[in-house]
Every structure is written in C-alpha cells, then in structure tokens.
Amino acid sequence: MDSSTASTPLRLTALAHGGGCGCKLAPSVLQQLLAEQPVVGPFARLLVGTETGDDAAVWQLDDGTCVIATTDFFMPMVDDPFDFGRIAATNALSDVYAMGGKPIMALAILGTPIDKMPTEMVREILKGGSAICAEAGIPIAGGHSIDSPEPIYGLAVIGTCPASSIRRNSGAQAGDALILTKALGVGIYSATFKKGALPLDAYAELIASTTLLNSVGAELAGHAHVHAVTDVTGFGILGHALEMARGSNKQISLRACDIALFTRCAELAEQGFVTGASHRNWASYGMSVLLPDALPIWQRHILTDPQTSGGLLVSCSADRAEELLQDIVAAGYAAARIIGAVEEGKPGLRVAA
Ligand SMILES: Nc1ncnc2c1ncn2[C@@H]1O[C@H](COP(=O)(O)OP(=O)(O)OP(=O)(O)O)[C@@H](O)[C@H]1O
Ligand SMILES: [Mg+2]
C-alpha cells in the first residue's frame, strides 16, 4: 500500500493545481511584479523591508525591541489534512526563526472550496496548524477564511526579538562557512507522492522533516559569530543561497556532495520525479550559478528542488562552524551539515561536485 491511498478517501492534492512552496512564483517573476511600485517612506524604523528578498519584515520599536511580521500560505502537497495544516504552519513560523526572532502569535489564513471539502477535513487542517502553534508556544489569535476554488492554508505570524538578534540574509561575511540544518528532497518526494509512488517510510520522512520547527534560529541569533540566516524554501538551495550571496555582495561556493538528502531523494530524482517549480527556478536564476561540467541533470533538479518548510541556511565564522554544527545536531537537527563557504568576489554561486 502506498501513502497516497492511506489517509483520506478524497485526495486533498487532487483539489489543487500545485502544492506547498512549489506554488510560489519564480523569483524573477516576483521581482517583475514588485518592480516600479510607488515608494513610500523611507521609514527609519523599518529595519528590514523588501530590498533583499529577506524572510520577514522587521520594525524597531522605541525601546529597541523588534517586531517581526511574515505571512506564508499555499495549497496542499499531501492528502492528510492534519499533516497539511502542520506543514503549512511550520513553514510560516520558519520565517520568524530565520530572522533570529521568536513568534508571539499567529493568524490563520484559510481558503476552502466549501462545496467540495467536507467540514471535518477543513477542521483537521486547522487542528494541524493549531498543534504546531501549540508546540511553538503561541496562540492562533484570529484569521481570515474565504470560499476559494482550491484549498489554501497558512499563517500570518508576529514575532519579536532585540535589535541585536536580527539576522538578515544579507549579513554573510568572507571567511564564513555555511551550514544547512535539514536534508533536501521535499519537492522530489512531493512530486512522487502526487503520482502515488511514494513508499510509506519516505512519506514519514517527509512529514518528520517538514513539521520540524526551525526554532533553533532564535538560539543561533544569540551568537555573534552567526552572521546571516535564511530559510531554504520554494527557490531551492541554489535560489536561497544566491539571495544570500547577492544581498551580502559575496561569492558563495557550495559542495553538492556535503548536502544531506532524504534517503530516497537521489534515486527518485534519477527516475525523473521532479516538480515544475524546480524547472522554473533554474530558468529564473540559472544564469548566475556555475555548476560542475558533468553534473547530471537529476542532480541539478535536487539543487533547485523547492523545499516546503525546509531548513535554515546559516552563515557563521568558519572557525566556529564545527562547534555550532554540534549544537545544532544536539538540538534535534540530525541532518545538519556544513555545505559551503563565503568568499570575496562577484556576487554569485559556484557549486562543486
Ligand atoms: N506581494 C508582495 N508584496 C510585497 N512584497 C512581497 C510580495 N510577495 C513577496 N514579497 C516579498 O518578497 C520577498 C521574497 O518573498 P518570499 O515569499 O520568497 O519570502 P519568504 O517569505 O522568505 O518565503 P519563504 O517563506 O518561502 O521562505 C520577501 O521579502 C517578501 O516579503
Ligand atoms: Mg523565507
């Protein structure tokens, strides 16, 4: 029996044209849409806005406390409504942790095809979101719900932190090492799932990773040698590393062989399981990435694979990286690895096999 028939008679994923962070617009399309908007401000207290494609907006209050605000929502990439709610909530909370903050409350964002989805199924999605917020120690204090053609769920999240704890995606320094806290393969597993071919053990691996809170981000921000943090989501490891390189005005090099993958990720990618978003990602930023000559196409698909609720990409002083990695692994992120380095040079990305 495969996992696609195990959870519910009505396939939640059948109601959506795409799912998870694979629903995100490609970075180049987003840039075009956001271009030429009227500029209002400047606002001296807006420490982080949209300039570097960072994870959340940050506003500094009078006493130095920062308010962090973010929203994330998407269509389902699994059929179990409770799992979908948990994944969407974990993903939405991640942007607050990636800025170095702690969430304080959330609002739920819900879209449901009210004539197609049973009430109990919608309730399960909401319960999944609540369960994750409870784990994060925060309330869902409200929300907004609409009748929509496809199911949508996510959160708007508010967090806080002292100004000194803010970690932008643009703070990487030459001489830093890069740590990635989760394994890659969410999009490849999701594409396999959608085709009904994902074995149950792989489904369990997918859920375990995508419902693991990135709460270690708040602790990392307490270390002065941690210079930049972002979460790896829809644009894949290459896209988010490139955002870090461009924002920081540095060259980033990654070692593909050091990146942890889900157990069956390579095998499934080689068999051709890939999301449309992976192709869109490469088309959008491939010109800024130097890959090894003989890299098989399926390996490139892993590097551009959209990671719904992926891990944190952490840029820290190289001489403290091993020690930090041990702390991260001890905090429950067994797949964390040191995957690359930051150097002076033209902003861009180089990948070694
Ligand atoms: N419609 C929009 N209007 C204004 N800013 C936007 C809009 N959509 C996205 N952005 C901004 O563009 C940047 C990149 O968006 P993106 O959704 O990739 O960030 P993100 O929330 O970190 O994503 P993820 O949760 O997948 O990590 C962010 O700074 C985000 O706030
Ligand atoms: Mg993010």
Instruction: Name the residue of 34, 99, 243 whose CB sits within 8 Å of the most ligand 1 atoms, as the mutation to test its pocket.
Output: 34
* Ligand 1 atom 24: residue of nearest CA: 233
**Could you read off the pLDDT of 313-324 as tens digits, one per residue?**
999 999 999 999
Task: Please list the alpha-helical segments (H only) found in the chain.
Answer: 27-34, 81-98, 119-136, 186-194, 200-210, 216-220, 236-248, 265-270, 276-285, 297-303, 321-330
pLDDT value, residue 5: 44
**Could you read off the pLDDT of 2-59 as tens digits, one per residue?**
444 444 478 999 999 988 887 888 778 888 998 888 888 889 999 999 887 899 999 9
Confidence of residue 128 (pLDDT cuts 50, 70, 90): very high
Structurally, what CATH architecture does the domain formed by 176-352 represent?
Alpha-Beta Complex (3.90)
Instruction: Name the residue of 25, 46, 58, 72 whose CB sits within 8 Å of the most ligand 1 atoms, as the mutation to test its pocket.
Output: 72
Binding site residue list = 24, 52-55, 72, 95, 143-145, 231
pLDDT value, residue 10: 84
Is the pTM higher than 0.90? The answer reads yes
pLDDT value, residue 4: 46
**Could you read off the pLDDT of 193-204 as tens digits, one per residue?**
999 999 999 999
- Residues labelled as active-site residues: 21
Q: Would you kindly state where each structural domain of the chain is located, as residue ranges?
A: 3-165, 176-352
Averaged over 144-161, what is the pLDDT?
98
> Can 3-165 and 176-352 be said to share one CATH topology?
no
pLDDT value, residue 38: 86
Averaged over 171-176, what is the pLDDT?
98
Residues with CB under 6 A from ligand 1: 21, 30, 34, 50, 53-55, 70, 72, 95, 231, 233-234
For residue 146, the tally of other CB atoms under 10 A from its CB is 10
pLDDT value, residue 41: 82
Ligand 1, atom nearest to 72 Cα? 25
| Cα–Cα distance, 148 to 157 (Å, whole number) | 22
Is the confidence at residue 118, as pLDDT, over 50? yes
* CATH class as words, domain 3-165: alpha beta
Label residue 352 exposed, middle or buried (CB < 10 Å: 0-12, 13-18, 19+).
Answer: middle
Is the confidence at residue 326, as pLDDT, over 50? yes
Average pLDDT over the chain reads: 95
CA quadruple 168, 170, 172, 177: dihedral sign:
positive
Q: Complex ipTM, two decimals?
A: 0.93
Binding site residue list for Mg(2+) = 55, 95, 231
Q: Which residue has the tokens 């990635």?
A: 180
- CA angle centred on 14, ends 13 and 15, rounded to 5°: 90
Averaged over 127-134, what is the pLDDT?
98
**Could you read off the pLDDT of 73-90 as tens digits, one per residue?**
999 999 999 999 999 999
Secondary structure class of 142 (helix, strand, coil): strand
**Could you read off the pLDDT of 248-293 as tens digits, one per residue?**
999 999 999 999 999 999 999 999 999 999 999 999 999 999 999 9
pLDDT value, residue 126: 98
Ligand nearest to the CA of 235: 1
